[in-house]
Chains A and B, each alone.
Chain A
Amino acid sequence: MTAPTHDPLTLSLSVNGETHDVRVPARKLLSDVLRDDLGLTGTHVGCEHGVCGACTVLIDGRPARACLTFAAQMEGHEVTTVEAMGRPDALSALQQALHEEHGLQCGFCTPGIVVTFEHYLRENPDPTAEEVRDVLSGNLCRCTGYQNIVAAVLKAAARMRGEAA
C-alpha cells in the first residue's frame, strides 16, 4: 500500500474550447479551479453539497455540479461555463429572455440556470411549463419565486424555435 501523495498535479484542462495547464492538488474542486486558477468566476459556489445548482457547468455538453467534481477528473473532457454562453453586450436568447422577463434578482443562482437550460433547450426545444419547472427544481432561487424564470425559459424556447415571442 503506497502512502497518499498530496503533491499538486499538473492538469491540462479544456474549458470553453481553450486548453489551460494548471497545477492544483487532486482534492481541489472543479468549481474552485475554474474560479481561482482560471479566473472564470461566473460559476458560483452556493452550497458545496450539490443541492443549490449555482455551480452547474457542462461536462462534455451535459450539466453537472462543479462542486461535486474534481478538476483532476476533467482531463480529456470538455468543460463549458457560463462565460461561453453570451456576453453582456451579446446575450444569448435565453439570457435576453431572462432580462426581459425579470427572471433574476440577486443573480447568484442565474449562471447555473443559464447553463442548465442552454443544454436542456437544445435537447428539448419545445418544453411545457411543467417540464421547465421539473428541470428548474435542481436550481434553487431565493429571490424570484421562479415564475419569471419559467416564463423566460419558455420565451427563449419559442424564439429559438423561430417563433415570435
Chain B
Amino acid sequence: MSGDFTEIGRALPRKEDRRLVSGRGRYLDDLAFPGALHVSFVRSPHAHARILDIDSAEAAEMPGVVGIFTGRDLDQMTTRLRLAPPIEGLQPTELTTLPIEKVRFHGDPVVCVVATDRYLAEDAAECVTVEYDQLPAVTSITEAFAPDAALVDDSLTSNMVSHQSLCVGDPAARRAEAHRVVEARFSLHRHTHVPLETRGCVADWDDGRAHLNMHIGNQVPHPLRSQLAARLGLSESQVTVMSPDVGGAFGQKIALYREELTVAALSRHLRRPVRWREDRMENLMSAAHAREYECRTRTSVSETGRILGLELEIDEDFGGYCFYPANYMARVIALIMTGPYRIQDYAYEVRVALTNKCGAGPMRAPMAITSWVMEGTIDAIARDLDLDPVEVRRINALGPEDLPYKMPTGELLEDVSPRETLEIAVDAIDVAAFRARQAQARAKGRYLGLGLCTVIESTTYGSEFYKSAGIPGSGHESAWVRIEPSGAVNASVGLMGTGQGYESPLSQAVAEGLGVRSEDVTVHMGNTNIAPYGMGSRGGRGATAGGGTLYLCALKARERVLAIAASMLDLNDAGGLRMRAGQIERMIGEDWQETGLALTDIARRAYLDPLALPEGITPGLDFSHSYDPPAMTYSNSTHACEVEVDPQTGAITIDRYLVAEDSGTVLNPIVVRGQQQGAIAMGLSGALLEQVIYDGTGQNLSATLADYLVASPNELPEFEILHHNTPNRRTPAGIKGMAEGGVMGAIGVLANAVSDALAPRGVTIERLPLTPQSIRALLREAAPSSTKRTQP
C-alpha cells in the first residue's frame, strides 16, 4: 500500500532542525515582553498542613515587588476546577486556583509574588511567612486506604477517589478448572517527565481589547484556551493561546496548571504582561508526577501454559490533586491489559488513592506498566510450569487467524501483528544461541539474562473511545489547507508538537493528498487564532488524527485543483488528470504526461480570475475538514534485550536491545525511528534510574537533577529496530499512532531480562526501579542455590 505514495514515507529530514540546531529556535523564555513582571511562588515545606496565617507585609515592601497574592485573592479572580464526570465509582473533586485552607504536598504553591524580575521576586518570596499547622501525611497507597487515614481531600468520604471493576466471562470458573493458578505482583515507582524546558507561560492581557494573549508551551492549545476562558470568566473569543517552540512535554504540558492560571489572572488584574518560568526544583517537585502503581495478577492456566482466565488488581497513587479524572490512566491499563493474547475470561478491579504527594498525570505511555504486567505474568507462568517462555507466548499470542479480535473489554484489535513481531524478535536475537551463551556464563558465575516483551499500544483515541469511557471530550481533529494566490501551500491542524518534529511528516501528509512536494508545504500549529479547534497532541494521536485529517483535507483540495485544471485544459472532467510536485499531468495512453499547467496557474485563476472558473466552483482555494478516527488504532511491537547483572555490585549492563515494530503506514521514517529510540530510552531510564522519592513524612528528596537521575548516554544501549508495518485499513493512508509503545516495552523487557538473569538464584523482579542496591538486596537475601525468592 505504501508503495503507492510519493510523499508519505519519504525520509525527509526535519524542517525544524535548522533553527533549533543553530540556537535560533524560539522557546517561551526567548520571547521578549517589555515591562513584563515576573512571579515566584512560595511553596509549602510540608506534605500536609493547615494554612493558619500568611504574612507578606515585609515582602511587599521589598525592592521591585508589585504585588503578593494568596489563594483567597485568586479565588476572587478565577473559578474553581470541578471534575465530576458521570463515572461510576469516581468521586467528584473541586479545587481552588491556589490552596486556601490547607496544603496537600511538599511543593504545593501557596503564595504568588509578583516583581519586576525573577531575582527580586525570589528575594521577596523568601520573606513571606506562612504559618502552618501540620497534619499527618499520607504517603503511600496502604496508608491512604487505612481505616483511620487522614483525608487528603476533606470534601471526600475517603482517600479512594476512584474505584471501578469489571468482570467478563467467568474467571472464577476458569480458576476452579485450571491446572495451575499463577500469581504475580508488579510495583512501579513514581516518575516525572523532566522535559528539558520546564513549564512556564507569559500572560499578556490586552486591556484595550479586553483580550488575553497566553504564550505557553502546551500540547493542547484549544482545550487549554477553553479552560482558561472558563476559569477566568472570559469568552473563548477573548483568549488566544500561542505555543512557541517547546522543549519537550511528554504529557506534562496538557493540563491548565494552577500556576499558569494564576499568572493569567494576575496579568488581567495588574494589566501588565506577567511571566513565569518554573525552575528545575519546582519542576521536579511540583509540576506533575506519574506511573506509581501496584498491580497483582492471578492467572488460570492449562498444563501447556494456555491462559484460561486473568484477574487483575491495580492500585494507583494519584497524589494530592486531580487535574484529570482519577480513573483516567489506570482505566486504560485495565482496558488493554490482555493485549497481544487470546484471553476472554477477564476481571479487573482498579482503585485510585489520593496521597500527600504531587498530583499525577499522564506521562508518555500513561499505560506504561501494562506490558510489564502482562509479559511478567507470561514469564511467571513459564517459571511456575517450567515451560519455555517463548512457547508460552506462542500458544497464547494472537495470530492473523484471530483477527479482528475483540478483547474482553470490548476493544477491537485489527491490523496488528503480535505473533509476527514476536517471531521476528525471537529470530533476530537468536534465543537458542543466547541460551547456550547464558549456560556457559552461568557456569562461570556470570548472570546473563534475556527478556522479551510484546506490546499492544493503544493510540489515537477517537471520540468513540471517550464516549464509551464516559469521559467528556472528543477525539476528532480538524484541519485546513489553503493554496495562496502564488501557489504557496499553507495548512494547519489543532495539534501542537513539543519536539517530536511534526513539521515534516504533517507536510508530507498534505503533500501526498494534494500532489505537491513536502518542501513546498508549511504547516502552522500552536496558535488558536490560526489553527482550527483541535484536541491537540496526546495519546499517540498526532499521525492518525492530525496527519489523517490533513491528508483528507488535502485530497479535498486536490479535487478542486484538478477540476479547475480540467476546465483550463478544456477537458470534460478531471478523470485523466493528476498533480505531481505541483505540476498537472494527464494520462495519455499508458503514460502520465506533462500538461504545462502548474498549481501556480490554477491558484492565479482561482483567486484573480474567478469569473473564468467553471460553473459551480467558488473563488479561492481554501479548504477545511474534520475527521473522527476510529475509537482506537493499535500498534504493536516485540522488544528483546540481553542484560548482564554484576552480582557483586548489582549493576545492570544492557548488552543488546532490539525491537520489532508494527507502526502501520509511516509518514516519515526518520521521525518515527527517532520516536522509537526516544521512547525506549525513556522507558529504560525510568526502569533503571529515575525515581521520585518521598520520605515517610512526605518530604520530596528528589528535587534536583543530581537526585532524580535521568539516563546519560553511557547507561543506554544502541537500539536495533526491525520493521513489520501493517497499514490500518480503517484510517486514511493506513496510518496508526506510535511513540509510546517503546516506553511500555522497555520497562517490561528489562524487568523480564533481569529476572531471567537472576533465575539461578531464584530471584524475580517485582519492583522497579532496578537500582544496584535493590538488586544486591535481593541477592543478599537469596540463597546461593536455587531457592525461590522475591522482592520484599
Contacts and interface: CB of A to CB of B under 8 A. Distances in A.
Instruction: Give yes or no for direct A-B contact (beta carbon below 8 Å).
Output: yes
Interface in B7-63: 13-14, 16-27, 29-30, 32
Interface stretch (B108-116, B194-202, B230-238, B394-402): B194-202
Given A106-B247, A145-B716, A111 B18 contact: no
Contacts of B674: 102, 105, 143-144, 148
B21 A91 contact: yes
B718 to A, nearest CB: 6
B23 A81 contact: yes
A33 to B, nearest CB: 12
Interface in A5-42: 25, 27-28, 35, 39-42
A82 B24 CA distance: 9
B501 to A, nearest CB: 6
A46 interface: yes
Contacts of B23: 40-43, 81-83, 85, 110-111, 114
Interface string B196-227: 11100000000000000000000000000000
Interface residue SS majority, chain A:
loop
B713 A102 contact: no
Contacts of B194: 142
Given A82-B23, A106-B247, A140-B196, A48 B671 contact: no
A39 B673 CA distance: 35
Contact of A102 (B196, B248, B673, B718): B673
A145 B681 contact: yes
Given A47-B280, A133-B714, A106 B18 contact: no
Nearest to B682: A142
B550 interface: no
B326 interface: no
B747 interface: no
Nearest to B497: A106
Interface string B244-286: 0111101000000000000000000000000001011000000
Interface string A70-111: 000000000001110111110100010011101011111111
A49 B704 contact: yes
A90 B248 CA distance: 26
Interface in A94-134: 95, 98-100, 102, 104-111, 114, 133-134
B119 interface: yes
B360 to A, nearest CB: 19
Contact of A108 (B247, B500, B710): B247
B280 A99 contact: no
A145 B719 contact: yes
B506 to A, nearest CB: 15
Contacts of B719: 145, 147
A52 interface: yes
B498 interface: yes
A42 B22 contact: yes
Interface string B669-686: 011011001101110000
B30 A140 contact: no
A91 B18 contact: yes
B670 A106 contact: no
B245 A137 contact: no
B589 to A, nearest CB: 41
A95 B21 contact: yes
Nearest to A25: B119
A91 to B, nearest CB: 6
Contacts, number: 173
Given A28-B119, A143-B678, A104 B705 contact: no
A109 B245 CA distance: 13
Interface string B702-732: 0011100010111010110000000000000
B614 interface: no
B575 interface: no
Question: Which of A89, A105, A108 has most chain B Cβ within 10 Å?
Answer: A105
Question: Which of B194, B499, B670 has most chain A Cβ within 10 Å?
Answer: B499
B29 A49 contact: no
Contacts of A54: 196
Contacts of A141: 196
A51 interface: yes
Contacts of A35: 29-30
A156 to B, nearest CB: 11
Nearest to B670: A102
Contacts of B19: 88
A89 B17 CA distance: 11
Nearest to A27: B119
B196 A98 contact: no
A98 B21 contact: yes
Nearest to B284: A47
Nearest to A133: B713
B325 to A, nearest CB: 27
Contacts of B670: 102
Contact of A144 (B247, B678, B712): B678
B202 to A, nearest CB: 14
Given A44-B27, A47-B280, A49-B706, A106 B195 contact: yes
Question: Which of A49, A91, A106, A111 has most chain B Cβ within 10 Å?
Answer: A106
Contacts of A145: 677-678, 680-682, 716, 719
Contact of A52 (B32, B196, B246, B677): B196
A149 interface: yes
A107 B713 contact: no
A111 to B, nearest CB: 5
Question: Which of A54, A95, A107, A143 has most chain B Cβ within 10 Å?
Answer: A107
A157 interface: no
A41 B197 CA distance: 13
A136 interface: yes
A109 B706 contact: no
A154 interface: no
Nearest to B671: A102
Given A46-B280, A83-B23, A110-B20, A105 B13 contact: no
A102 B13 contact: yes
Contacts of B279: 48
A146 B24 contact: no
Contacts of A105: 248, 499-501, 674, 678
A58 interface: no
A150 B197 contact: no
A66 interface: no
A64 interface: no
Contacts of A45: 29, 277
A155 B648 CA distance: 38
B705 A143 contact: no
A79 to B, nearest CB: 14
B345 to A, nearest CB: 39
A85 B682 CA distance: 30
10 contacts: A86-B22, A102-B674, A106-B245, A107-B25, A108-B195, A108-B499, A136-B713, A137-B712, A142-B250, A145-B681
List 7 tightest A-B contacts by C-beta distance, closest first: A42-B23, A106-B499, A107-B20, A108-B247, A145-B681, A82-B23, A41-B30
Given A99-B18, A146-B713, 13 more contacts: A45-B29, A46-B280, A48-B280, A81-B23, A88-B22, A91-B22, A106-B20, A106-B195, A110-B21, A142-B195, A142-B678, A145-B678, A146-B681
